[in-house]
Amino acid sequence: MSPITKKKLQMNFYIFALLVHFLYTFILGVMNSFWGEVNGFIYVLLYKNWNYTLILFISAIVSCIYTGTLIFFVRRANRGQIQSELPKILCVLFKTILPILSFIFNSLVLLILFVAGEEHLRLVLFVIDFFLPILFILSVVFLGIKIPHLISFLKDLNSKYLINSEAKKKSAPIQSIFSISLIVLLYLSVFLIPLVTPPSSLYNEPIAEKPLIIAHRGAAYLAPENTMQAFQKADGVGAHGWEVDVRVSIDGKFFLMHDTDLRRTTNVATVFPDKIDEDASSFTIAELKQLDAGSWFVDRDPFGAIKGGRVSTEDADLFRGAKIPLLDEILNYTIQNPHWIDIDMKKPNEDHPYASQYEDLLLDKLLLSNLTDKVMIKSYDPKAENFTQLFSPREYTIEEMLELGAELIDEKYTTANSELSEYITTNVPIMVGVLNSPIRFSQVWLLGADFVLTDTPDVFLNMAEPLRMMKRSTFIPIWITLSVISYSGGFSFYIHKLKREKMPKKET
């Protein structure tokens, strides 16, 4: 392989690596609302209290800067503009080994994100969709600027065929027609797409009413999840209700806990070191009440709420020693502070003594609370008729849900806007979650969602209006006008340039 080929190969690798690093950085940045979840997941694996996602984000930015710097200096070196004075071993280290290692590492993390975080990655598409009006405008301006270059390219292509063999001269018209057709198709497509499928960030008036905010596991980003402190915090910021995860203890008491085990959100490793990996439902309620379910939140500050000032240090200190609450406690609190309560049933394993009775006993307890339709639950037992029954499109079609008398559709935030719009037009209330991105919240608000399930109720409750670009009725004429100006401007510039070239040069 010649030295020139090696240099080209090296430069192509740097450019490709820079694209990968940039994509990785962009995805991590867009997914920042899920950094806390990722940190919590890695913490359970490593038991080290680090901000893993921030470390990854910084490393991704450094990789972009480093690779971009390499491209700049290698190009200048190849042109002979600078001379490398580093020893050969350092050149190999900085120009080959480090770029390859960073590329492999970032590619592996990107692959893990695509495999394990496929659902969260859809948020990237929604963010891109939000900024599509700007991207469309930039694209049509770019195409207008490129018109003179494309016409010159077609002329050069035609000239190339004219000076070649007779066979090529015969095929020249076909080649020209094909090339022109492709270019015209490109320009027409860019012009028509926003008219046929307008971006969701465009809105129609009047704007839909703001969705009611349901705090996921209490205000999970502001207090230790599924504790009374979390529900009090959610109530304090003005949430309209809360979602709870309900398990049953080995002695038949209902308590709140999301995870199957107790490692992430309690000090079970200290109190019951021999039972650290056991199912939370295998503990008695007396054992569960011995655990501290709040200090982990203060010590790790998983969502940066304490460091960022969203939670004061005084409030944070009150979280220490928080107990795992009984279902009775949150039901009583909900009765005293009339709110919605979304029950997420966490049924025990089949070998649990209350496995077969779990749903029946839970419904009995909910009926005794007299919260009736303020209880959201995914149960089709006759006892649940007085509650607001959740239906999931992942289990039923729209037609089936309507036939069964669906009262509330429970949909994921990753669902496409077209599907959400279809559910909303059925006039059945819809709840979208778990949603922590202001951009995505704005989109489902504009679509007309009735409820939003979120870990950050304070953020959404403080939003007086949705984030949005412009009205659809405003965008369409602006888009058509800008496209006409851009395209005609490109042609006009080319014609003007052609006239100047044909003008006789003045003799000096």
Q: 351 and 385 in one domain? A: yes
Tens digits of per-residue pLDDT, 206-246?
A: 888 999 999 999 999 999 999 999 999 999 999 999 999 99
Half-sphere exposure (Cβ direction) of 472: Cα atoms closer than 13 Å: 15
Q: Rounded CA gap, 137 and 120, in Å?
A: 28
In this structure, is residue 299 part of a structural domain? no
Q: Which ranges constitute the DSSP H helices of 354-471?
A: 358-369, 398-403, 417-424, 438-447, 457-461
Give domain status of residue 470, yes or no: no
**φ/ψ of residue 389, rounded to 5:** -85, 125
Sign of CA dihedral 60, 63, 69, 74: negative
* Contact between 26 and 112 (Cβ < 8 Å): no
pLDDT on residue 2:
45
pTM across the whole model: 0.83
> Is the Cβ–Cβ distance between 282 and 248 less than 8 Å?
no
CB atoms under 10 Å from CB of 164, counted, come to 12
Residues 230 and 344 in one domain: yes
Q: How many CA atoms lie within 13 A of 186 on its CB side?
A: 15
- DSSP conformation class of 471: B
- As a whole number of angstroms, the distance between CA 296 and CA 292 comes to 8
In a domain, residue 472? The reply is no
DSSP-assigned states of every residue in 176-230: HHHHHHHHHHHHHHHHHHHHHS--TT-B-SSPPPPPEEEEETTTTTTS-TTSHHH
- Give CA torsion, residues 84, 90, 92, 97, to 10 deg: -130
State whether 194 and 218 are in the same domain.
Answer: no
Which residue(s) pair with 213 in the sheet? Answer: 452
192 belongs to a structural domain: yes
Token pair, residue 397, equals: 């079609």
∠ at Cα 120 (475, 204), nearest 5°? 20
pLDDT of residue 47: 77
Of the candidates 89, 92, 87, 113, the one whose C-alpha atom is nearest the C-alpha of residue 20 is 113
pLDDT at 352 over 90: yes
Closest CA to 239 of 209, 265, 217, 208: 217
Q: Is residue 36 part of a domain?
A: yes
Note whether 241 and 140 are same-domain residues. no
Sign of CA dihedral 379, 441, 264, 312: negative
Lowest mean pLDDT of 136-140, 159-163, 369-373, 420-424, name the range.
159-163
Q: Is 21 a residue whose pLDDT tops 60? A: yes
Question: What gap in Å lies between CA 223 and CA 245, rounded to an integer?
Answer: 16
Residue range of the domain that includes 36: 3-116
Quote the Cα angle for 302-34-214, to 5°: 90
Q: CA 401 to CA 507: how far, in whole Å?
A: 84
Percent of the chain residues topping a pLDDT of 70: 91
Mean pLDDT of the region 141-157: 80
> Residue 91's pLDDT is what?
82
Q: Is the peptide bond before 206 cis (omega within 30 degrees of 0)?
A: yes
Is residue 371 located within the same domain as residue 497?
Answer: no
Are 26 and 153 in a shared domain? Answer: no
Same domain, 71 and 99: yes
Contact between residue 417 and residue 396 where contact means Cβ atoms under 8 Å apart: no
List pLDDT tens digits, range 255-288. Answer: 999 999 999 999 999 999 999 999 999 999 999 9
Q: Are 410 and 391 in contact (CB under 8 A)?
A: yes
* 247 and 395 housed in the same domain: yes
Last residue of a domain, one of 86, 116, 146: 116
Per-residue pLDDT, averaged over 191-207, amounts to: 83
Residue 397 one-letter amino acid: T
Number of domains in the chain: 3
**In terms of domains, do 391 and 430 share one?**
yes
Query: What distance separates the 2 farthest-apart alpha carbons in the chain?
Result: 104
Task: Return the percentage of the chain with pLDDT > 90, whole number.
Answer: 50
Better-scored residue on pLDDT, 173 or 472: 472
Compute the mean pLDDT over every residue in the chain, rounded to the nearest whole number: 87
Q: Is the pLDDT at 162 greater than 60, yes or no? A: no
* Amino acid sitting at position 400: E
Contact by Cβ (8 Å): 237, 457: yes
Joined together, the tokens standing for residue 190 give: 């860019």
Q: Return d(Cα 181, Cα 474) in angstroms, integer.
A: 31
Check pLDDT > 60 for residue 172. no
Q: The CATH number of the domain where 387 resides is what?
A: 3.20.20.190
Please report the pLDDT score of residue 1 as a whole number. Answer: 43
Same domain, 73 and 183: no
Instruction: Kindly state whether residue 318 falls inside one of the protein's structural domains.
Output: no
Highest mean pLDDT among 4-13, 44-53, 234-243: 234-243
pLDDT band at residue 166, thresholds of 50, 70 and 90? low
Residue 92: per-residue pLDDT = 84
Give alpha helix (H) positions in 95-131.
Answer: 98-116, 118-130
Res 368: pLDDT: 93
User: Per-residue pLDDT tens for 405-444?
Assistant: 788 999 999 988 888 888 888 888 999 989 999 999 999 9
Residue 414 domain flag: yes
pLDDT of residue 332: 95
Mean pLDDT of 90-111: 90
Burial class of 349 by CB neighbour count within 10 A (0 to 12, 13 to 18, 19+): exposed
Check whether residue 218 and residue 179 sit in a common domain. Answer: no
Q: Are residues 488 and 358 in the same domain?
A: no
Question: Does residue 392 sit within a domain?
Answer: yes
